[in-house]
Chains A and B, each alone.
Chain A
Amino acid sequence: MSTLQSLAHFKTEIILLIGAFITLFSDSPKGSRFLAGTAALLTLTLAGVAAFTEASQQSLQLFGGFFTLDGATRFFRFGMILAAAASVLLGMTRGAIALSFFAESTALMLFLTFGLIVLCASGHFLTLLLAVEMVSLLSYLMTGFSPQNTRAREAALKYLLLGSFCSAFMLYGISLLFGLTGSLDFDSVRAAVQDGGQRTAAAASLLFILTGAGFKLSLFPFHFWAPDVYEAAPSPVAAYLTVAPKAAACAILIRLFSEVFPSMQTFGAEVLQTLCILTLLAASLLALAQTRVRRLIAYSSMAQAGYLLMGLSLFSREGLQAAFFYLAAYGAANLGVFAALTALSQRGTQDHLEDLTGAAWRNPFAAGCLTVFLLSLAGLPPLAGFLGKFWIFAAALKEGEVFLVVTAALTSMIGIFYYFKILRTLYFSDPLIALCAAPTPLPLRILLILLASAVTAAGLFPSWLLRAAESALR
């Protein structure tokens, strides 16, 4: 499709870009979060409406094949917009992000959303590498975007150095693939990989490219940045980074294996499943030793990425559908965990587990929501996480991957243990310091109610989310 025709189908992304610029300059002189926050939320609402009401449902190749608008793109685009809206609402809470940086950081979040959507939709390696770099650079900057916070800056430095190292490998892999196939377009590369006899070289470049995706998913050998970033970054940024880039990495993995390397799915499945087992074991064991809440959540989200990867690596319809369902459930629950922790945290504390001692008696509402989210992450019925995990395990058993399922079942038992460690601290201990009941601010309360009801509703009535996941596969 030509550029001008494509623009008609590119409304959502254009709205996001324009809104990001407006948000950037809507810093109110009186120093309140209201103006920039409203601009960002309005942008995301408009973009969501534009995405939802889009007329055509068929698969389109926009901008001469650089941007693929298909079911998967639509599913991930809508999810990214929802996650961004949740993070902006979280950022509007006092103390979640510094006031003087609020407008800039919210605008960067909108730009990041744009980059992630383009990444999910890329149909050409040039789009892929540009989108990956856009997402990476914005993530590094947003991590360190906090005044007088040495820990956040240190996390940003580690993120930057490790991230650039991994993405250099990915770029090298893409350049090798270009050398092998003489093209960068997904369709021509697929044709060349299928015909060509140089399978070893193609496999090598695939491994290089997987390094980049593995880094974004924080899989085992590439995970060293994740706990630091999720612990030290401002909480809306951390919440967004645990969810949206992982979703985008899943989308790009699916796209690579279905559109570029369908001939190498067996090899890819072996690699991904090895990474998946290593990630699950490492994340669960390391999470047991944590004494800081956000660091524990970071390792738990690493383990969750392992379950997601398990669904993806089957390359079966059931596996992918279950993974999409699980991704949505994980996203809602993880955003909720960060929101509830923001509501429960006290000024001047450093997120130690002991700081939450007896917090349920201080703020029963936020603690109750946190319980729902943690139980869903642990995979207990009747919440959404349980169904997602169940279907992923069922799909894996159907493909005969018994070892994978046994490992995953074992690590989810360890998972239940460390999630209950948080819950025990919340409920079954007297508060160390008698504090007056801390009221939850209104935007945060709305956000918590929405996320908790989404997690519960998707667990009790899963059909709507399943239909959405199925439409992503079409």
Chain B
Amino acid sequence: MTPVPESHYLIFSLILFSAGIFGALTRRNALGVLIALELMLNAVALNFVIFSRTAPEGSASGQVSAFFIIALAAAGAAAGLAIVLAVYRSRKSIQTDDTNLLKW
């Protein structure tokens, strides 16, 4: 059985990243945008893992980076949810259309 070539994984991670961009730009709900941003970060982590397979020296640094990205995504989600909750408490809405106090 032949192994799956790297390019397949790369195309998959690109699709994941693009889906994240699309979601972040089109979602009207702040939580939806946060989920889309997580997709983008997952694409980055996936990239690191794939490239650590092809890297000539020490594949460890790619895999370690993937773990760091996962931890960063978790920290980002914690901070993000805290802010979304604070906004919800004062506005009773997390629709990005409703955040209209500050204008250009």
Contacts and interface: CB of A to CB of B under 8 A. Distances in A.
Interface string B25-42: 000001001100100110
A133 interface: yes
Interface residues of A, number: 38
Contact of B50 (A165, A174, A179): A179
B15 interface: no
Given A168-B37, A168-B41, A175 B48 contact: yes
Contact of B101 (A151, A165, A178, A184): A151
Contacts of A144: 83, 86-87
A161 B30 contact: yes
A153 interface: yes
A227 B90 contact: no
Nearest to B14: A172
A150 B51 contact: no
B56 to A, nearest CB: 5
A316 to B, nearest CB: 34
B57 A182 contact: yes
B69 A171 contact: yes
A160 B79 contact: yes
Contacts of B76: 133, 137, 164
Contacts of B79: 137, 140-141, 160
A176 to B, nearest CB: 7
Interface in A152-193: 153-158, 160-161, 164-165, 168-169, 171-172, 174-176, 178-179, 182-184
Given A129-B72, A137-B76, A154-B101, A171 B90 contact: no
B37 A228 contact: no
Interface string B55-66: 111000110110
A161 B24 CA distance: 8
Interface of A is mostly: helix
Given A130-B68, A168-B40, A232-B102, A182 B30 contact: no
B11 interface: no
A264 to B, nearest CB: 21
A182 B86 contact: no
A133 B83 contact: no
Contact of B61 (A129, A157, A171, A184): A184
A126 interface: yes
Contacts of B101: 150-151, 154
A231 B17 CA distance: 32
A56 interface: no
A144 B87 CA distance: 9
Contact of B48 (A160, A178, A232): A178
A126 B56 CA distance: 18
Contacts of A148: 90
A157 B30 contact: yes
A432 interface: no
A157 B102 contact: no
B2 interface: no
Contacts of B54: 179, 182
Contacts of B37: 161, 164-165, 168
A144 B62 CA distance: 34
Nearest to B20: A168
A449 interface: no
Contacts of A204: none
Contacts of A160: 79-80, 83
B87 A182 contact: no
Nearest to A126: B65
A286 interface: yes
Nearest to A173: B44
A164 B55 contact: no
A172 B47 CA distance: 8
Contact of B102 (A137, A164, A182, A227): A227
Interface of B: 17, 20, 24, 30, 33-34, 37, 40-41, 43-44, 47-48, 50-52, 54-57, 61-62, 64-65, 68-69, 72, 75-76, 79-80, 82-84, 86-87, 90-91, 96, 99, 101-102, 104
6 contacts: A144-B83, A144-B87, A160-B80, A161-B96, A171-B69, A179-B51
Interface of A: 126, 129-130, 133, 137, 140-141, 144, 148, 150-151, 153-158, 160-161, 164-165, 168-169, 171-172, 174-176, 178-179, 182-184, 227-228, 231-232, 286
